[in-house]
Structure 1
Amino acid sequence: MAAVLFGIAAFASTTRTWLNVQLPATAVQTPDLAVSGSDAATAVTAFAVVAITAALAASIAGPIARWIVSVILLVAGVGVVAASYTVISDPLQGAAGAIGQAIGVSGSTDTVVTLTVMPWLALAAGILIALGGIWMALASRSWTSSRRYAPAPAPADAGTTADGSAPAGPPAGEGATTAPAPGSSAADEGEAPVDDIDSWDRLTRGDDPTTYR
């Protein structure tokens, strides 16, 4: 869940303004530019989506798959950090595409580009995503996997008891267990399923076959 939240934070930061651009006075009169993170660092958006998807997959992954998810989270976190740091270290390069579209020239020395807090937020989220991947690799070794329908134990031989001896029959004159009526099954009588066919019949009707285990 932490990795999902950090991925969402990184993705959300790319929808906000990363760079404020003041164009040179000699250029064609255009308003100042506000460059979003999705334009300044497209890779951050992609890595954030990968991190969110991988973190969600961890909830249903097995032991081996968790290691794979951990590696993906680590790579995604490092990718977010690298892309964010590139913009932080060189804001003008991050805004070059938006400046070129506005005035046709992206290399003007008179252009002033200032950073907002959003690139730093994405950088912090990337670090936390990477740490989440490392933590998952270490902690998931003790996680257990559970399934709704666990395999049923093998039934004992009807002709023998637990110690291998033949079961004693009912005394003479007393009622004995009778087989279900033709065309019906134990599942239809409200009893525990006696074989796989009865279990499938119960499951088809929407009943839980594990109730009788």
Structure 2
Amino acid sequence: MSADAAASSPVKASPRWARKSTLVLAAVVLALAVFGTTTQTWIEVQLDPAGVPDSNLHVPGNKAATAVTALALVALAGGLAASIAGRVARWIIAVIIAFSAAGIILAAATVLADPLGAAQGSIAAATGVAGGQAGVAGTAFPVVAIVAGALLALCAVVLPLAGRYWKTRTKYDAGSRGRQDGQPVDEIDSWDSLSRGEDPT
């Protein structure tokens, strides 16, 4: 196929799952969802066995699992950065989001496995006694954080694959694609090629 024919052929549309707007929005929404859960009650603590209402302690996620808040913000920043990142940077961002998602899942699962241990800091602050016993019950928000974290991990896996369908944004990438597709290269691209020791002709 000639260069003119290749240039005139229609560009294949990106699959819906690979659209930049869809993937970036999903990562941002999921990271915000995780962050939102940390502002809600993760553990209900009953300090008084008699069940006096004033003795109940509500432990939010940012106290029960302090790392989740920071990891959600890291994932949020990664999702936003993916919209303007190049190919190599997208791989790095995908790894960062994946590790953040894994940390979110692990921290939330730890709270579910040992809610009393996760609430000990708040119990000690409220009673002045470290290592005290109390009745505890977990809420649904740690589960929501785990589900959102798992979906974040999925976004991290899809990100480098979807990035292959995205248009290049940097002048270097645009110049490289122009040379490969037989499209004309402007003076700036030619100068950059000479600076790299390449022959733009």
TM-score by length of 1: 0.65
Structure 1 residues without counterparts, runs of 5 or longer: 155-213
Aligned residues: 150
Matching of residue 130 in structure 1 with residue 153 in structure 2: yes
The equivalent position to 2:186 in structure 1, one of 148, 153, 172, is: 153
Structure 2 residues without counterparts, runs of 5 or longer: 1-24, 176-184, 188-201
Larger RCO: 1 or 2 (CA < 8 Å, sep 6+)? 2
The equivalent position to 2:140 in structure 1, one of 110, 117, 127, is: 117
Deviations 1:53-88 (A, max 9, x none): 000000000111111111011011001001101101
Aligned mates of 1:64, 1:81 — CA distance in 2: 26
Aligned mates of 1:106, 1:115 — CA distance in 2: 20
Shift of 1:51: 0.2
Shift of 1:106: 3.6
Deviations 1:15-52 (A, max 9, x none): 011111001449xx962100000000010000000000
Aligned to 2:9: none
Shift of 1:103: 1.3
The percentage of aligned residue pairs carrying the same residue is 44
Aligned to 2:80: 56
Structure 1 runs, 4 residues or longer, greater than 4 Å off: none
* Aligned residues of 1:24 and 1:108 also touching (Cα < 8 A): no
Secondary structure of the corresponding residue to residue 113 of structure 1: strand
| Larger Cα-atom Rg | 1
Query: Whose helix proportion is higher, 1 or 2?
Result: 2
Aligned mates of 1:41, 1:52 — CA distance in 2: 18
TM-score by length of 2: 0.69
Aligned to 1:77: 101
Aligned mates of 1:103, 1:14 — CA distance in 2: 23
Aligned-residue RMSD, C-alpha:
2.1
